[in-house]
Amino acid sequence: MSDIALSQPQPGFLGFLVSLKPRSLADAIGTCLLFLGAWLVLFPFVWMLSASLKPANEVYDSEFSFWPETFMGGVNYYGVLFEQPYLTFLANSFIVCIGILIVQLITAVPVAYALAKLKFKGKSILFGFVVASLTIPINVTSIPIYLGLVEFGLLDTYFSLMFPFFVSVFAIFLFRQFFRDYPDSIIDAARVDGFSEIEIILRLILPAAVPALAAFSVFSVVAHWNDLYWPLIVVQSQNKMTAALSMLQYQSDFDNDYGRTFASATVVTLPMVIIFLFARRLFIRSITMTGVKG
Amino acid sequence: MAGLELRNIRKSFGSTDVLKGLSLEIADGEFLSLVGESGCGKSTLLRIISGLEAPDSGEVLIAGEVVNTASPKDRNISMVFQDYALYPHMSVAQNIAMPLIMARLPLHARLPLVNLVSPRARSIKPVIASEVEAVARQLRIEHLLNRRPAELSGGQRQRVALGRALVRHPKLFLMDEPLSNLDAKLRVEVRKEITELHQSTGYTFVYVTHDQTEAMTMSHRVALLQKGELLQLATPSTLYADPNSVSVARFIGSPEINILPVSVGAEDLRVGTVVHPGLAFNLSSCVQIGLRPEAARLVGSQDVSTDFKLAYNRHLSEDLGHEVLLHGTLAGVQDTPFRLRVSQAIGQRAVLDTQEELFVGFDCSDLLYFDAQGERLRDARFSMAMREAAQ
């Protein structure tokens, strides 16, 4: 009887509980480890939610309780949503993420196509450079880029927020791997039929590469939505602040309003959590597709 | 005027010479097959003709014009690929229409959205649609026009690929092993259709295959390639009856020709245990002979009508109904297999069924003579006989 219950998933919460019933000792240990892992990942978020409801002094309390003694949730969230230009921050983040994504696709797709399908001298060396560039962290290039932006007076602009990310080596690598599997004979047929190389990309390769494009898009948007490092360097005024950067407004050398900071963090994370719920499969694919995390 | 002319084409990939100075000429409207084992350079040659690959040296002329620097689309050619190479996300109609759209619409009118408003695109599209329909009707695929390639069977995809090639009325029709992905029955069917297509359109066809049956049955002439060189370019019957070398003789014909070592004396020829005397034989460098499996015949033990008669040691017989294929060896040449086709029709079967000991008989005029390098030696008397036999 229990076998039938296990093999036929029941609807609702009861079904979920039944699915947790261990089938063997190893299964039970595995489930426990997974629960532990899930808890490790989820606890910071729980703590963030809890802290966002508390006054600053209670955040420091040595005893952790999820529900605050003095409920400051209303004040914290009101402050985040209405006492600062929250929509401007969201819009800035949105503009930056989409701008970066568009330029990344425009630069990466032709490069990836050339590396995957065209024959030219030095191709393997060029691809070697691409792979090698994957290993360079942004911190190495940020100082020369920053100095250049200062020289041209471009600090505190959308351009300066996007510029370092216009060429994504990860995207080139990912797309190249994906394009390589496209049948050569179809490309040859297209050349005989009169397609130009650009049209081969637009009409044949891209429609076939939608999964890769979507996966990379999700990946890129999430990465730059959450980026704190670069905006912190180039943004100087409040009206260019991105959502992630706006969290830091409540911190100074003298006074840290942690309750409000965490309310801000919650609100900033929320859009990404929603995107993740909708595009979960794409997101997972973007990480598993090449086995490389950008 | 020549439909296609190749002058001294050379091509190498790295240190491998794929084509070593190849020249040939194809008449307008001719059906020519390029045949050879894999790696002989036949596909590379086709890619050079199409413009997908550039030769290292040499000239390609289509309809009398040198097209070395022209891109594939400017050569007005069509190509059918082994795996059909249909555009996977387009419908059959779009697949067939694509070459016309590319040829007749300027770049800006091909862009998405623009093509909806461009007056030129709007005036040309119905014309293209009607031409696509005509080609589809010709190939009997008009009921498939709205399907995607993934929803078609192998034979249907093959027809769509043919349609896409036909629709632009090319000067030159190139096919790269188009039948190799089909099952045996369908292959015979499509083979016939391609031949009919060639007859009805009158285009110049260049057909690459490793299958000699396709080459022999479909073409006017066959070019046999080996290791980047043209071994022989001739009609199928000439290739079969009058090959230039052992390689050609071996490649053409199924079952394979028998090649036997011989020794030549001043006026005699020894095959196995038998010496045929009294030959005014001027082929002193001959060391091997070729004998088609159907050129020899079973003879009775008392029969002395043939120049040669050797005891036959049968290892295996394959009964195909209309004929029996024997595998064995001849007396005196035990190391070399000898295949024999015993036909139902000429009463040979009775000999096979009744006799315990088998004898194989053949005449000097049935033989092809080759020297140590495998080059053909032609004796005037015998080659005359061969030619008559071929006709």
CB B126: neighbour CB atoms within 10 A? 9
Residues B91-148 pLDDT 10s: 999 999 999 999 888 877 787 777 777 788 888 888 999 999 999 998 889 999 999 9
- Using CB atoms, which residue from A188, A195, A204 is nearest to B81? A188
Cα B131 to chain centroid distance, Å, stands at 32
CB neighbour list of residue B379: distance below 8 Å, 6 or more residues apart: B281, B282, B283, B369
CATH fold, domain B246-390, is OB fold (Dihydrolipoamide Acetyltransferase, E2P) (2.40.50)
Cβ within 8 Å, pair B85-A189: yes
| Model pLDDT, residue A169 | 92
- Using CB atoms, which residue from A186, A188, A194 is nearest to B87? A186
Q: How many CB pairs under 8 A join A and B?
A: 55
User: Residue B80: helix, strand or coil by DSSP?
Assistant: strand
> Is residue B58 pLDDT above 90, yes or no?
yes
Cβ within 8 Å, pair A194-B110: no
A118 lies within 8 A of chain B by CB: no
CATH fold, domain B2-240, is Rossmann fold (3.40.50)
Q: What percent of chain B has pLDDT over 70?
A: 94
For residues B59-82, average pLDDT: 91
Q: Write down the mean pLDDT value for chain B.
A: 87
Please name which of B49, B56, B53 lies closest in space to residue B26, comparing C-alpha atoms.
B49
A188 lies within 8 A of chain B by CB: yes
- In angstroms, rounded to a whole number, what is the distance separating the alpha carbons of residues B173 and B3? 10
Residues of B in contact with A119 (CB under 8 A): none
| Helix, strand, coil in percent for chain B, rounding step 5 | 35, 30, 35
- In angstroms, rounded to a whole number, what is the distance separating the alpha carbons of residues A43 and B136? 64
Please name which of B264, B277, B274 lies closest in space to residue B370, comparing C-alpha atoms.
B264
Cβ within 8 Å, pair A186-B103: no
Q: What is the CA radius of gyration of chain B?
A: 26
| Model pLDDT, residue B8 | 93
Cβ within 8 Å, pair B164-A196: no
A95 lies within 8 A of chain B by CB: no
Could you tell me if B46 and B237 are in contact, meaning their C-beta atoms sit under 8 angstroms apart? no
ipTM of the predicted structure?
0.84
> Is residue A290 pLDDT above 70, yes or no?
no
User: Residue B290: helix, strand or coil by DSSP?
Assistant: strand
Could you tell me if B260 and B291 are in contact, meaning their C-beta atoms sit under 8 angstroms apart? yes
Pairing of β B31-35 and β B16-27: unpaired
Cβ within 8 Å, pair A194-B52: no
| Model pLDDT, residue A20 | 73
Cβ within 8 Å, pair B88-A188: no
- In angstroms, rounded to a whole number, what is the distance separating the alpha carbons of residues A224 and B87? 35
Using 50, 70 and 90 to split pLDDT, how confident is the model at B1?
A: low
CATH for A82-288, among 1.10.3720.10, 3.40.50.2300, 3.40.50.2000, 1.10.150.530?
A: 1.10.3720.10
In chain B, domain spans: 2-240, 246-390
Closest-CA distance of chain A to residue B83, Å: 8
- Using CB atoms, which residue from A185, A203, A208 is nearest to B83? A185
- Confidence (pTM): 0.80
Residue type, B175: M
Cβ within 8 Å, pair A204-B87: yes
In chain A, domain spans: 2-52, 82-288
Residue with tokens 């297509």: B197
Q: How far is CA B359 from CA A190, B126, B293, B317, in A?
A: 60, 71, 14, 15
Pairing of β B229-234 and β B172-176: unpaired
Cβ within 8 Å, pair A192-B50: yes
- Using CB atoms, which residue from A189, A194, A203 is nearest to B81? A189
A206 lies within 8 A of chain B by CB: no
- In angstroms, rounded to a whole number, what is the distance separating the alpha carbons of residues B121 and B106? 9
H helices of chain A, in order, are 2-7, 12-20, 25-52, 56-59, 73-82, 86-117, 123-133, 138-151, 158-162, 169-180, 184-193, 197-199, 206-208, 210-225, 229-234, 243-246, 258-278, 280-288
